[in-house]
Amino acid sequence: MPFAWADLPRPIRALAPMEDVTDTVFRRIVARCGRPDVFFTEFIHTDIVLALRPDRPGLTPRLRFTPEERPLIAQIWGANPEHYRLAALRLRELGFDGIDINMGCPVRKIRKKGACAALILNPSLAADLIEAAKSAELPVSVKTRVGFSHVQTEEWIGHLLGQGIDALTVHVRTAEQESEGCADWEQIRTVVALRDAVALRTVILGNGDVRSTDQITDYVHRYAADGVMVGRGVFEDPYLFSTDGRAGRFPTASASGRVDLLESHLQLYRETWGEERNYEILKKFYKIYLTGFNGAEELREQLNATHDYTAAEEVIGAWRTGR
């Protein structure tokens, strides 16, 4: 059956797209710990999608995936409607389940290109990009924020809801806040009311500072959202989406349990990428696993001093032997 946002079980639990984090390897690690209902790729520029050669669909690591990660939504960004149309068609050929448009990334160099959060200031272009993405006849969703420099939920979110999108994820901060300040979840209540007022079927996900399974349940009930997208919270608990009782246990997991999961990540990364992707990217994951036990900081420092898989495995082996 084709993917449909409306068919997902409530509450919908989604893993947020995160730059240099949510590649095929990390998505599979999370799936094995406790899969969410839907995954997203790292965001990718439409021009990079268009540059892919038909005989080499795996040219960019951002679009590599396995059946284990489905349903998987490709998140794109850019500011050219025709490029969106062509990229959407290409993504359908590559087998993605849907297309998500990034209208929320606050990074200044990207905003200066008129893309992502800058689209909050250019609603007519935002509408054109959505219409172009629909060309592939895949579900189209948008991830955005409640405003640019100030909260403008009713006008901006109301405009997006008027474009007939299948799902809308709202990070409840403004673009200029980036990740600072409190996430204003009361805005989700407003978003849902806007959706309900015109009897739309658009799925509403809230995003911002969610760090536990209990918080997902609480926020969905309290703010009437269809689901929650979790980003940095999964770093504190890779089992956060688990429904078999493992969620919430990772913060107090044993040292060996944490190192076992790190080693699984290391091995899968090596099997998947080899020398194709920079080993150094792995280092940002070490802090996820190596914290909360005696010797964690020392082990992390030793691993951060390595520059290849073999050296990392030797450090882990020495740690196991020396315990």
Which residues are known to be catalytic? 105
Q: Which helix (H) or strand (E) holds 38?
A: none
Instruction: Please state, in angstroms and rounded to a whole number, the distance separating the CA atoms of residues 161 and 151.
Output: 16
Q: Of the candidates 143, 92, 87, which has an alpha carbon nearest to the alpha carbon of residue 120? A: 143
Phi, psi (rounded to 5 degrees) for 122: -140, 65
Burial of 240 per CB tally in 10 Å (0-12, 13-18, 19+): buried
Task: For the beta carbon of residue 100, count every other beta carbon within 10 angstroms.
Answer: 28
Q: Which helix (H) or strand (E) holds 48?
A: helix 46-51
Question: In DSSP terms, which residues pair with 229 in a beta bridge?
Answer: 14, 207
Q: What are the tokens at 250?
A: 């990772």
The SS3 of residue 154 is helix
Residue 260: C-alpha distances to residues 105, 165, 170, 256, 290 (Å): 33, 41, 35, 6, 11
Phi, psi (rounded to 5 degrees) for 270: -65, -45
Residue 36, CB half-sphere, CA atoms under 13 Å: how many? 31
Q: What are the tokens at 55?
A: 């005989």
DSSP 63: G
